[in-house]
Chain A
Amino acid sequence: MSKVKISILVLSCLCIFFFSLFLTPSVMNPFTLNTLDRDILVSIRLPRLLVAALMGIALGASGAVLQGLLKNPLADPYILGISSGASLSAAMGLVSGIYLFGQFSIPFTAFAGAAVASLMVGAFGWKGGRLLPERLLLAGVGMSFLFYAALMLLISISTHEGMRRAVLWIFGDLSMADWSLIPWGVLFIVAGLGISLSRARALNALMLGDELAHSLGFSVHRERLLLFTSIALMTSASVSLGGTIGFIGLLMPHIVRFMLGSDNRILIPVSALCGGAFLCIADTVGKSVLSPVEIPSGIVTAIIGSPYFLYLLRKKDVLGQ
C-alpha cells in the first residue's frame, strides 16, 4: 500500500475529528472559547467523539477479523449473538431494579451479558478441542434468535414505563457518552485490537485453508481461539459503550478491501480507522440535522451505509474475491 494513500486516510480522519469537535451542531472558534463553550467541549463533545471513535474502531476491526475467520463476506460482529446477549442482560438488569453500580449499572450489565454470550457461543462452536468456524457462525445465529426472543418477551410482558425507553439505549445512543467509561473502553478495545493485529499474518494464512496455514507453521486452532477472543473483547466493549450500531462491522471491511486489497495486516487497522471515522461522521450528522433534536447514530449509519453497501454489492469484484 502506498504511503500516499495512508497519509490521505490519516489526514482525512483528523479533519473529520476536528470538524465534529468544533463545527457541529454549532460552530465554535477553538481559539476564542468562553467558559460555556469550554464546558460543552470538554464534558460533552470530546467524550462523545472519543466514544464514537472507539466504537467505530472496535466494530471495523472486529468485522474485518470475523469475515476472515468465518470466510464469510456477510459476517458482522453482531451475528455472534454478543449484542443481543448484552441487550438482554441490560434489560434484565433494569427490570430487576438492581442498581449496584449506580450509573455504571447499564454498561456493566451489558458487558457481563456480552461476555457470557461470547463464552456460550464459543462453547457451542467448540468441538473436539477445536473452534469450528461454521459451528461458531450457526451457534451465534441461533443464540441471537434466542436472546432476541427473550428480550422481546421481557418487553412485551413488562409494565415498566421506563423499560421501553431504556431499551432504546441498546439501539445505539452516544448522547450519554461519559469520561468515566472511556478508560475501560480503551483497555478492552486496545487489547482486542492488539491481539488481532499481532495475529493478522496468521489470519491471512487461515484464509488460505487450514492445511496450508498448518504447513506455514501456524497452530490453526490456537490462532482461531485468539482471533475469536479479540472479536469478543472489542464487540463487548463497544456494545457496553453505546449500544448496537449497525453496519460498520459489515460495511467498513468491504470498502477497505475494495480500496486496498485483502491483506489482513492492512485491512484490520485501516478498517478500524475508517470505522472510527465513519461513526464520528454519522454521529455528527445525527446530532446536527434536526438540532436540538437528535437522531440516534445507529439509524444514521444504516441510512448512509445501506445504499453504499448495495452499490458495492452490485460490483461483483468486491464480493467475488
Chain B
Amino acid sequence: MRKARVVLSLAVLILFSVVSSSIAETPGRIISLAPNLTEILFEMGLGSRIVGVTQFCDYPAEAKKKPKVGGMSNPSPEAVVTLKPDLVLMTTDGNPKEFGERFRKLGVKTYLFRAQRLSELPHEIRKLGMALDAKREADALAGRIENTLKKLRDRKIAKPQKVLFIVWPEPLIVAGPDTAIDDSIKLFGHTNIAAGTGISYPKYSLEEIIRQSPDAIFIGMGHAEIKEISQGLLRKLGNVPAVRNHRVFFLSDNLYRLGPRIIKGIQEMAECLK
C-alpha cells in the first residue's frame, strides 16, 4: 500500500514536471533567422514579438525595421545573444545546423522549422504555432494555405504542359526535383522538364532545353535586372515553343519563400499556364 502511494506520488511528480515544462511561458522575444519564417510570424500577427531578423528579411515592410542579426548562413551569435531572445527560430532550409548547437551552448533556446516542401508547410506551421503559444493563429494560417492548395489542385487543366523554371540565367540554374517550385508545377498536373536531374537546383544543359522543348518557361525575379540578364539566353532558345509562342513569364519572388506568399506565387503561375 505504502509502495503504491510512493509510486503514485512519483508519477504525479513526473507528470507535473513534464506538463510544466511543456507549458513554458509564451516566448515574447523571438528572433527569426529566415525570411520565410519572418513572413509566417507577421502573417500570424506575431510581428510585435519579433526582436531580430536577418538582413534578407525584407517582407513585409515592417520586417525591414527590425534589428538585424546578420545573414542566414552567418548570423552573428553576439548580436543574437545581445537581443536576449526567448526563442530563436531556425530552418532546415538555409541555416547551418552548427548554429543551433552554438546557440544552445550559449543558453539560447532554438526552434527548428523543418518544412522544405509545399506539402509539409501547413503541418509545420501548426507545430510552430504550438511552440509559440499561438495555436489559433497558426491553425487559421495553415487552414488557409490548405484550402487554397486544395482548390488549385482540383482545378481542371486543359492539357498538361512541359514547364521549366529558371532560377538564374547565366550560368543556367533551374529548379529541379524536391523543391517547392517543382511541387507547385506538379500541383496542376504539369511536368517540370528538370525533374529527372536528381539535384534540387542543377546547372542545366542549354541543349537539353532545346531537345525537351518546354511549352512554358518561368524566370524568377531574383534580381531587379533579370529581364536584361535573360536576353542572351532567350535569344539562344528562340526556336523553343515557349519562346516562339511568347510563353516566357517573369514571376515575382513569391514562389521563392516557403511561407504565406507562396500561395500567391502558385496562383500567378496558374494564371500564366491557363
Binds A, one of B9-17, B100-108, B127-135, B167-175: B167-175
Residues from chain A with a CB closer than 8 A to the CB of B211 are: 26, 36, 40
Encoded as 1 (CB less than 8 Å from any A CB) or 0, chain B from 205 to 237 comes to 111101100000000001111101101110010
In the bound complex, CA of A44 to CA of B239 (Å): 12
Please report the total number of B residues contacting A with Cβ < 8 Å.
38
Cβ-defined partner of B223 (8 Å) among A102, A160, A169, A294: A160
B229 to chain A, nearest CB (A): 8
Docked-complex contact B171 and A296, CB < 8 angstroms? yes
Q: Does A292 contact B (CB under 8 A)?
A: yes
Docked-complex contact B205 and A175, CB < 8 angstroms? yes
Q: Does B199 contact A (CB under 8 A)?
A: yes
Q: Which of A165-179 contact B (CB under 8 A)?
A: 165-166, 168-169, 173, 175-176, 178
In the bound complex, CA of A160 to CA of B56 (Å): 9
5 A-B pairs, CB-CB below 8 angstroms? A45-B207, A159-B55, A161-B56, A287-B205, A292-B208
Q: Does B204 contact A (CB under 8 A)?
A: yes
Docked-complex contact B171 and A168, CB < 8 angstroms? yes
Q: Does A103 contact B (CB under 8 A)?
A: yes
Q: Does A134 contact B (CB under 8 A)?
A: no
Cβ-defined partner of A296 (8 Å) among B55, B194, B203, B210: B203
Q: Which of A165, A168, A173 has the most CB of B within 10 A?
A: A165
Q: Does B67 contact A (CB under 8 A)?
A: no
A291 to chain B, nearest CB (A): 6
In the bound complex, CA of A293 to CA of B236 (Å): 18
Q: Does B197 contact A (CB under 8 A)?
A: yes
Encoded as 1 (CB less than 8 Å from any B CB) or 0, chain A from 167 to 205 comes to 011000101101000000000000000000000000000
Please report the total number of A residues contacting B with Cβ < 8 Å.
36
Docked-complex contact A97 and B197, CB < 8 angstroms? no
Docked-complex contact A293 and B224, CB < 8 angstroms? no
6 A-B pairs with the lowest CB-CB distances in the bound complex, closest first: A162-B223, A292-B208, A103-B232, A165-B168, A292-B205, A173-B171
Q: Does A99 contact B (CB under 8 A)?
A: yes
A183 to chain B, nearest CB (A): 16
Cβ-defined partner of A166 (8 Å) among B170, B199, B206, B231: B170
Residue of A nearest to B170 (CB): A176
Residue of A nearest to B231 (CB): A103
Docked-complex contact B205 and A25, CB < 8 angstroms? yes
Known A44-B206, A287-B205; judge A176-B225 contact (CB<8 A).
no
